[in-house]
Amino acid sequence: MNVMVIGSGGREHAITWKISQSPKADKIFVLPGNPGTRQIAKNVSGISIDDHGKVIEFCKSNQIDLVIIGPEAPLAAGLVDSLSDAGIRCFGPTQAAAEIEASKAFAKDFMVRHNISTARYAAFTQLDEAIHYLQSVDYPIVIKASGLAAGKGVILPNTIEEAAAALEEMLVDKIFGEAGSEVIIEERLIGQEVSLMAFTDGTSVTPMLPAQDHKRLLDGDKGPNTGGMGACAPAPVFTNAMLQETITNVLQPAINGLRSEGRRFIGVLYAGLMLTPKGIRVLEFNCRFGDPETQAVLPLLKTDLIEIAEACVDSRLNEVDVQWKNGTAVCVVLASKGYPEKPEKGQIVSFGELPENMICFHAGTKADGDKILAAGGRVFGLTAWTNNIKSSIEMVYANVKSVSFDGMQYRTDIANKSVKTDFGNG
Ligand code: AMP
Ligand code: GLY
């Protein structure tokens, strides 16, 4: 089979790396890819993923049998609809189904319609109404831009003044553009967060290993929010009972709900969960693989990812026995100086040897002749997997200096929180 992966980050490197191990893979293309994917696949340049006609043309002339889409933006822009209409098989949801991520207002209403537990909320497009509501709630809140804001659209205000200022910035100053023209004011929940991704063919769901992201920049969950500074999987805090509960009360109702509303969802449904004292609540749904979670989850996947993706596209996911390796994977993000506000770019990267069961996924790099340069905020995801969480943490940090560039910053406590709750499954 010829397969094309769409995207250019650490998540797409992880997907490409995984499918490159499949005996089913003949040629693998990545649009546009990065210097990491270039080592294992053919990067495609000169085509914008916004130009659906050009993407279709490329797929046809290169006999692409399956397209796997990484990021949310092309999904929300209807790339799956365009490709499917042209007869090209896609692992990813339609535009209507991607709304579960692309519009938080839609997602919240959807959860209420389908009885999926989530925080109390209200949605607004008018500043005065939003502020009026703010004054009426007697619990701590969060404020969210409804649209896609690259992970930056959530504000946790400490005072009512801060909340009012955030509302004004979104609704009036349009700091997130159209994405903030509607806002959600939501009850603030407390607890540990877990990311549960699941494969789906639109009817059945097969969960992946539960993972934990580390969103704050600095150790001890301090500093600003980022796109994610590291991940571990499986997350030991998430018990098997919680997994069963989430399948029954969250994932399956979501997939049933999307289907009953005529929104065709094939691909990965990601539930961002908060484990609150009152039970599991959904913080958000994403319509795709999470990043960096995927960089920790896929190294533990035993089953052929192409086989799973094909089964999803062919509506026979329940025929596949999705299997996982024992043990735990830990991914540490290596970021540029200045990330997330003003990341510095262009530093030359040097690489040392990595032991077996470790991989350095490229997230934001650029090739310059035979040199690799840092080209983004999150530059690499360094992942190690062993049969227990402690040794995975030790291994990833023992080798963190095998990759280096000027100003490289990373958290030194990824997955530490999990060690306390891990009883070992290796
Ligand atoms: P979201 O994009 O909705 O997942 O929000 C991004 C991050 O904001 C989450 O991973 C949480 O850390 C935080 N967050 C979102 N909603 C809430 C909430 N209702 N209560 C507390 N924290 C939240
Ligand atoms: N790690 C969070 C996300 O992928 O949205």
User: What's the pLDDT tens digit per position in 262-296?
Assistant: 999 999 999 999 999 999 999 999 999 999 999 99
Write down the pLDDT at residue 363: 97
Q: Are 254 and 269 in contact (CB under 8 A)?
A: yes
CATH: 3.10.20.70, 2.30.130.10, 3.30.470.20, 3.40.50.10700. Which one for 192-420? 3.30.470.20
Residue 8 identity: S
Range 120-187: architecture per CATH: 2-Layer Sandwich (3.30)
The ligand with the least distance to the CA atom of 225 is 1
- Residue where the block lists tokens 């077996």: 356
Segment holding 100, helix H or strand E = helix 95-102
pLDDT tens per residue, range 201-241 = 999 999 999 999 999 999 999 998 898 999 999 999 999 99
pTM: 0.95
Give the closest ligand to the alpha carbon of residue 274. Answer: 1
Residue of the nearest CA to atom 5 in ligand 2? 290
What residue spans define the domains of the chain?
2-92, 120-187, 192-420
Mean pLDDT along residues 80-87: 98
Q: Calculate mean pLDDT across residues 51-77.
A: 98
Specify burial of residue 114 (Cβ count, 10 A radius: 0-12, 13-18, 19+): middle
Q: Which of 53, 58, 96, 90 is nearest to 77 (CA)?
A: 96
Q: Quick check: 26 and 2 in contact, CB under 8 A? A: yes
Answer for the pair 84, 41: CB distance below 8 angstroms, yes or no. no
CATH architecture of 2-92: 3-Layer(aba) Sandwich (3.40)
Residues 265 and 315: beta-carbon distance below 8 Å: no
CA distances from 280 to 118, 127, 142, 164, 251 (A): 8, 31, 18, 29, 12
User: 60: Cβ below 6 Å to ligand 1?
Assistant: no
What pLDDT does 285 receive?
97
Assign 379 to helix, strand or coil.
strand
Residue closest via CA to ligand 1's atom 18 equals 188
Amino acid 421: pLDDT: 64
Which of 226, 286, 289, 333 has the most ligand 2 atoms within 8 A of CB, as the residue to mutate? 286
Tens of pLDDT, residues 153-200: 888 888 888 888 888 888 888 888 888 888 889 999 999 999 999 999
Top mutation candidate among 75, 193, 284, 293 for ligand 2, by most atoms within 8 Å of CB: 293
Q: Is the pLDDT of residue 151 over 80?
A: no
Is the separation of the CB atoms in 212 and 193 below 8 Å?
yes
Phi, psi of 211 (to 5 degrees): -130, 165
Q: Tell me how far CA of residue 322 lies from CA of 78, 300, 306, in angstroms.
A: 28, 11, 12
